[in-house]
Amino acid sequence: MTTVERVRAAYARNAGADRPEAWITLRPEEEALAEAAGIDRRLAAGERLPLAGTVVAVKDNIDVAGMPTTAGSPAFAYEPAADAPAVARLRAAGALVLGKANLDQFATGLVGTRSPYGAVRCAWDPTRISGGSSSGSAVLTALGVVDLALGTDTAGSGRVPAALNGIVGVKPTIGLVPTTGVVPACRTLDCVTVFARDLVLAREAVEIMSGPDGVDPLCRIDTPPAPLAARPVVAVPTAEHLEGLAPGWAEAFARVVAELAASGVDIVEVDIEPLLEAASLLYGGAFVAERTAAVGGFIAAHPELVGIDIDPIVAGIVAAGAAATAADYFRDRERLDRLGLEGLSRLVGAVALLTPTTTWHPTLAEVAADPVGANSRMGRYTNFANLLDRSALAVPAGVVDGRPFGVMLTGAPFADRTLAQLAERIASPPVELLVVGAHLRGQPLNHQLVAAGGTFVAEVRTAPDYRLYALPTTPPKPGMARVERDGAAIAGEVWRLSASGFGRFVAALPEPMGICSTRLSDGTSVAGFLCEAVALDGAADITSFGGWRAYRAATA
C-alpha cells in the first residue's frame, strides 16, 4: 500500500469510527495527501524511509509545526515554531502526522474525560472511558485510524489507555526521548510514549525518537541491556496486592503468569507494598507542586475560565501544589528514596515486575459520579514508575467480558529492550468475535476472517437486546444495533482470533461498522459488530427474520 493509499484509508476509517472527540485538530485530507505523495516520491527516488506509509496521531501537548498546541485548553493554545524532536524524527523517517489528539487537560488524569473538547470514549465500548491522559492517541490507534500515536506519561498515561483499548503502550526510560516541545505536566518525570497495535512498530518508533537533542537537559544516552538469562526471573505481586481487580481480571492475570512460566520464566511472588506507598506520593505529596510550576500560573491568571475552558478537577489538582513548601518537598523526597530502596531491593534478581496495567475499566457515568476516586484506582500499578526511574511496557493480554485486559512489565532504567523481549513471550489469550452477517461461514466476506487467522467456534444467538437492518452495501450486509426496548435475539457465529489477528481485522473494517461488547443469550459477552446509528436511517428492519441467513434465504 502506498502512503497515499494509506492516508486515504485513514480518513475513510476515521469517518466511520464514531469518535470525533478523539481529535482536537485533524489536518485537511488534501493537505495530508499532498504530503503523502511527496513521501511516495522520495521512496521512488531511493530514499530510505523506515516509517514510510505510517500514519501518526500526536497528543496535543506535543508540538507539531503548522498545528496549534492546546494541551487540552483552547485558551492556552499557541502556534509552535517547529516540531518537537520526537515528532521531527518520526517525520524524517517517513511517518505522516494526521493531526493532534485529545487528552486529559494539561496531561492531568488517567480517565480521558477531563477535556473541554469532550470525553473520549473507549474504542471497544462507548459507554466506558478510554483512559487518559493520552486518550485520543490510544483510541485512534485501537480503531485503526492511525498506525501509531504519541502520548506522554507521568503517572501512567502511556500505559492505562493502552490496556483499556487493547493495544501496546511503551513508556521508555526517562530521558531516552527528548521532551523538548512538550508542555510539561511534571518536567522531571515526563516521558514521550508510543501506542501501536504491534509491539515491533512501537519499539521501532521509540528507537527512532531516542537520543539527546542538545536542548533537553534531562536527556540520557541509552545503555546496552544485559543478555536475557536462559531462565529469567519475573516478579509478581502477592495475592493481597491483587485484590480489588475488576471481575475476571485476577483470573486473566493468573493465566498470563502461567503462560509466562510455561515459556521458561521463573516466577517469584513479591510484597510490593513499598512501591504502592511510593506511588501515593505522586499526587498525595509535595511532588504535585511540579504540576503547579508547569501550568499553575496560567490557571491562576484565568479564574474566570474554571468550569468553562479549564476543567475544575484539573484546576484543583494543579492549585493544590501551591501549598507545598520546600521543606515538604525534601521530606517527601527522603520518604520516596527510602520507600524506593526498600521496594526495589525486593525485586533484586528479577528482570521485571509483572502486574495488571490497571485495576478496572469504569463507565463514563462511574467516573462522573466520583472523578477523583475513580482516577485514583486507575494508577495503582503505574504511579510509582517515573518517580522511581523505571522503564515500563503495557501489552494486551486478551479479553474479559467482551473488553480488553492488559498487563504491564516494569523494569530498571534502560531495560526497555529487555522488557520488549519478555513481552514477546506473553501469548495473549485469543479474542472471541461475534459475526452476524457477511462474515458468516459461506458468506462473501468470510475469507477476511480466515485470512486474519480466525477459527469457527460455535453458532450462537445474542441476548434479546438487538435489532438487525439490511444495509444498501456491496456486497450486501446487515447492521446490528443495541436497543433499550423491543429487541430480539439475533443468530450469529463466534470466531476466535489471536490478538494480533484481531487487530489486523479491526483495522481493515470499513465504515459504518465498529466493534463493541455484545451480550450473548447465555449471559456472556464477546466482541461483536455494531453499526453506527446514522447508517441505519432508511435501512430495512429485518429483525423479524431472526438472522442474516434466514433473511437472505427468504429474499433470494
Provide the pLDDT for residue 427: 57
Residue 540: give its domain's CATH number. Answer: 3.10.490.10
Please tell me which residue in 73, 115, 133, 525 is annotated as part of the active site. Answer: 133
Closest-CA residue to 97 (of 198, 168, 193, 26): 26
Place of cell 480503531: 143
Domain boundary, last residue among 358, 379, 400: 400
Cα torsion angle, 528, 533, 538, 543, sign: positive
Instruction: Report the residue count for the chain.
Output: 556
Helices then strands (H, E): number in the chain? 20, 19
59, 100, 171, 477: which is the annotated catalytic residue? 59
- Residues 115, 135, 157, 428: which is the catalytic one? 157
Dihedral-angle region of residue 312 (phi above 0 means left; psi in -120 to 50 means alpha; beta otherwise): alpha
Which of 400, 423, 446 delimits the end of a domain?
400
Q: What is the pLDDT of residue 428?
A: 56
Q: What does the pLDDT profile of the chain (556 residues) look like in tens digits?
A: 899 999 999 999 899 888 999 999 999 999 999 999 999 999 999 999 999 999 999 999 999 999 999 999 999 999 999 999 999 999 999 999 999 999 999 999 999 999 999 999 999 899 999 999 999 999 999 988 999 999 999 999 999 999 999 999 999 999 999 999 999 999 999 999 999 998 999 999 999 999 999 999 999 999 887 788 889 999 999 999 999 999 999 999 999 999 899 889 999 999 999 999 999 999 999 999 999 999 999 999 999 999 999 999 999 999 999 999 999 999 999 999 999 999 999 999 999 999 999 999 999 999 999 999 999 999 999 999 999 999 999 999 988 988 999 999 999 999 999 999 999 888 556 788 999 999 999 899 988 888 777 888 899 999 999 999 999 888 888 999 999 899 999 999 999 887 667 777 876 776 666 778 899 998 888 888 888 777 788 899 999 999 999 999 998 8
Element (H, E) at 339: helix 326-345
Active site residue 59: yes
> Which residues lie closer than 8 Å to 538 by C-beta, 6 or more apart?
none
DSSP code of 491? E
| Position 117 in a domain | yes
Please give the single-letter amino acid code of residue 393: L
- Please indicate, yes or no, if residue 349 is contained in any of the structural domains: no
157 catalytic, yes or no? yes
What is the predicted pLDDT for the residue at 43?
95
Nearest to 462 by CA among 443, 442, 478: 478
Q: What is the pLDDT of residue 530?
A: 81
- The answer as to whether 526 is a domain residue is yes
| The total number of structural domains that make up the chain | 2
Rg of the chain in Å (alpha carbons): 23
Q: Which of 359, 377, 400 is the last residue of a domain?
A: 400
Looking at the domain assignment, is residue 219 inside a domain? yes
Domain that residue 35 falls in: 3-225+394-400
Tell me the three state secondary structure of residue 153: strand
Is 164 within 8 Å of 358 (Cβ atoms)? yes
Q: Is the CB of residue 525 less than 8 Å from the CB of residue 519?
A: yes
DSSP for residue 198: S
Helices (H), 273-311: 273-279, 281-284, 289-291, 297-301
pLDDT score, position 356: 98
d(CA 532, CA 555): 25
Give the strand pairing for 168-171 and 466-471. Answer: unpaired
| Selection from 37, 205, 19 nearest residue 112 by Cα | 19
The answer as to whether 311 is a domain residue is no
pTM, 2 dp: 0.82
Q: How far apart are CA 204 and CA 196, in angstroms?
A: 10
Question: Distance (Å, rounded) from C-alpha 554 to C-alpha 442?
Answer: 16
137 is catalytic: no
Question: Which letter does DSSP use for residue 154 in this model?
Answer: S
> Does residue 368 form part of some domain?
no
Per-residue three-class SS string for 295-314:
HHHHHHHCHHHECCCECHHH
Could you identify the residue written with the cell 531511493?
A: 46
Residue 330 domain-assigned (yes or no)? no
Domain CATH for 208: 3.90.1300.10
Residue 112 belongs to a domain: yes
